[in-house]
Chain A
Amino acid sequence: MNPLPLVAVAGSPNAGKSALFNALTGARQKVGNYPGVTVERKSGRLQLADGRPLELVDLPGAYSLEPASPDEAVTRDVLLGQQKGERQPDALVIVLDASNLDNHLRFALQLIELGLPTIVALNMVDLAKRDGLELDPSVLERELGVPVVETVAVRRRGISELQGALDDMLAAPRCGVHESVKADIIHLQRRAREIAAAAVIRETPVRRWTHRLDSVLLHPIMGPVILAAIMFVMFQAVFAWSETPVAWIESGVAALSGLAAQIIPSSLLRSMVVDGAIAGVGAVITFLPQILILFFFILLLEGTGYMVRAAFLMDRVMHGVGLSGRAFIPLLSSFACAVPGIMATRTIDDPKDRLTTILVAPLMTCSARLPVYTLIIAAFIPNTRLAWGVGLQGLVMFGLYVTGIAGALLAAFVLRRGVLKGGGGGFMMELPKYQWPAAKDVAIGLLTRVEIFLKRAGTIILGTTILLWALASFPQARPGESQVDASIAGKIASGIEVVVRPIGFNHDIALALLPAMAAREVAVSAIATVYSIDSSDETAAATKLEDRLQGRWSLATALAFLAWFVFAPQCISTIAVTRRETNGWKWPLFMVSYLFVLAYCAAGLTYWTAVSLGL
């Protein structure tokens, strides 16, 4: 069976390629990675007028066939038929930004030289008009020797014309392909400028919209203030808007486990489904609303063109520790959850910059750590007021956040001078024109990311929670013996205890560290479970968790536990997403180990200092 004809969509970054791809394929997209690299492969199906299906692949944006990034290398290799896991395209759709022809035509000229059947989509003609620029597509057709179709992909204009041109092109017999393309960029660039100048019908000089907006948004004082305001709104939204849906999900999970408990007879199976699968996956799914809202903002910031401005504003600061401004938004997003943060690092071109950002992202205090911080602080830190509006508890909480940030910056600094030394670190990017993204494009982006989160992380999380459940449930306790102590988990905890005893951790904490891997806030419920199992006495069971902790932990232990959680080895979703984004187990393992060492040292230092101070 012959595979479907493959049509590649190629173009420079910011030409509106993804919007055009979305307009052609709709929501039926497959997103994966090219084998061996962390470059996203997006493909979809399209039906021609005569009913023939074809596969459309969205190539990574590139400025030329001489790659300056891994993404561009994939684009070149696919087009030359040298990419592993991809057949050579049968035809090409080149997307050009109508108001940036001088530049985009250079890549188009290079692509046309390949000799594949080609159509040019002259995209964003509306924005060009807004800037007072009118072009003649027929001049382009004549100069380039291929059909040119005017489009406005975000508004779905010109799409049927483009489909028609595709129809005609694929009906024609295929000609040979030039295997090597050797052209002098400077020469192509000059030719591109000539053609672009020839295609201009009218050009009215107007003060461009984008420039006017930038003079406010990139203003040395206003710029950072507005950025801070936008980030503030984003975080407010992540926490405020998510409350209701989180409550729904929680009650849904509770209802589901209640139902399962009724249907399945009391047995090991019931325990596995209710305590293992539903409880574990439920704990992770609760984060879905926050992740969705966060992604919504990230997609909006990206789609409007503001993301690059944020990077511009923050580059100098990030540069200080060897990162680029591009790392700012992913790291900031990690305050809500490291999973979307790590997935957002795809916008960082340089592989080493990107990897460093991924490795330090988990040090940003994510929202899952809050329940742990809140519990311990409430139990051990006196609620005294230090000054007007400044309480000791709040100060400790603030300190924990600052420690996380400082740790991340320090780790980035060390990584960039150690294992991830050299390479890039540069910051060269285009500042695209501002535009309002189509709701449909944002929706498709959200959908694919949620799918990745649920599918990839979901399978691993389900597996691990069942494993953790098994560890806690086997072997089964004899009558009179506590299940916790009898289980493999209990034994493992005794083993861990030996290691963590020097830093002030007791058996309870050692036991909580295991399930905390599933999701950090589970540490709280794990501690609660241990204490409720241990106390048979009714009145003791009713005592508040905080009060019980006070009775069983010293202040030094509590502080060490907090310090541990600033760096704590990561939750399974983070590890799973790191594996996906780095294409292997090497970096997630490295991340877990270095953070474990940091956590151990920080907790130890805190404990010993506290003990020597007599706390």
Chain B
Amino acid sequence: MNAPFQPDSISLDQLELGARAVVAAIDWQALDSAESSRLRHFGFDEGVTVETLHLGPFGRDPLAVRVGRMTVAIRRKHAGAVRVVPTVK
């Protein structure tokens, strides 16, 4: 199930620190089954607002992302599978 093409979408790992965005689409194919169900369990879903809160000290990896009321840590590589549209402040 893919969302309609969003020309202004970027991948979550490109999102600026402290910026908010709305999830446009998630490339489930890029993740293995445990990884994708974990992301679903964290509440990643189209239309959900996310915010990059912190970055790991080495190589800016992993990312701490707020999803709904939860803060989760995911690696840059997995964040790359999530397409988001930044919210205009």
Q: A430 and B72: CB pair below 8 A?
A: yes
Please, how many angstroms separate the alpha-carbon atoms of A224 and B58 in the complex?
A: 10
Contacting residues, chain B, for A101 (C-beta < 8 A): 69
Interface residues of B in 34-89 (CB under 8 A from A): 34-35, 37-43, 45, 53-59, 61-62, 64, 68-75, 78
Please, how many angstroms separate the alpha-carbon atoms of A220 and B37 in the complex?
A: 29
If the complex has contacts A63-B41, A66-B37, A99-B69, are A428 and B74 also in contact, measured as CB distance less than 8 A?
yes
Residue of A nearest to B35 (CB): A426
Contacting residues, chain B, for A311 (C-beta < 8 A): 73
Interface residues of B in 6-57 (CB under 8 A from A): 32, 34-35, 37-43, 45, 53-57
Q: A308 and B73: CB pair below 8 A?
A: yes
Interface residues of A in 549-596 (CB under 8 A from B): none
Among A1-9, A36-44, A207-215, A473-481, the one that faces the other chain is: A207-215
Interchain CB contact (< 8 A) of A316 among B34, B43, B54, B56: B56
Residue of A nearest to B74 (CB): A428
Q: B55 and A220: CB pair below 8 A?
A: yes
Contacting residues, chain A, for B38 (C-beta < 8 A): 63, 68, 426, 428
If the complex has contacts A99-B69, A100-B69, A315-B56, are A214 and B40 also in contact, measured as CB distance less than 8 A?
no
Chain A contact surface mostly: helix
Most buried by A among B37, B43, B56, B58: B56
Chain B contact surface mostly: mixed
Please, how many angstroms separate the alpha-carbon atoms of A351 and B38 in the complex?
A: 15
Contacting residues, chain A, for B45 (C-beta < 8 A): 186, 189-190
Q: A64 and B64: CB pair below 8 A?
A: no
Contacting residues, chain B, for A215 (C-beta < 8 A): 54
Interchain CB contact (< 8 A) of A102 among B37, B57, B69: B69
A157 interfacial contact with B, CB 8 Å: no
Please, how many angstroms separate the alpha-carbon atoms of A317 and B56 in the complex?
A: 10
- Least Cβ distance of B40 to chain A in Å? 5
Q: B73 and A68: CB pair below 8 A?
A: no
Contacting residues, chain B, for A220 (C-beta < 8 A): 55, 57
Q: B69 and A312: CB pair below 8 A?
A: no
Contacting residues, chain A, for B71 (C-beta < 8 A): 210, 214, 430-431
Please, how many angstroms separate the alpha-carbon atoms of A190 and B47 in the complex?
A: 11
A185 interfacial contact with B, CB 8 Å: yes
Interface residues of A in 67-125 (CB under 8 A from B): 68-69, 99-103, 106
A301 interfacial contact with B, CB 8 Å: no
- Additional A-B contacts beyond A68-B41, A427-B73, A430-B72 (16; CB < 8 A): A66-B37, A68-B34, A189-B43, A214-B54, A215-B54, A221-B57, A312-B62, A313-B57, A316-B56, A316-B62, A426-B32, A428-B39, A428-B72, A428-B75, A430-B71, A431-B64
The 3 tightest CB contacts between A and B, nearest first, are A63-B41, A316-B58, A218-B54
Interface residues of B (CB under 8 A from A): 32, 34-35, 37-43, 45, 53-59, 61-62, 64, 68-75, 78
A-B contact pairs, 26 of them (CB 8 A): A63-B42, A66-B37, A69-B34, A99-B69, A100-B68, A100-B69, A100-B70, A102-B70, A103-B70, A185-B37, A189-B40, A214-B53, A220-B57, A223-B57, A312-B54, A312-B73, A315-B75, A316-B56, A426-B34, A426-B38, A427-B75, A428-B78, A430-B42, A430-B70, A430-B71, A431-B72
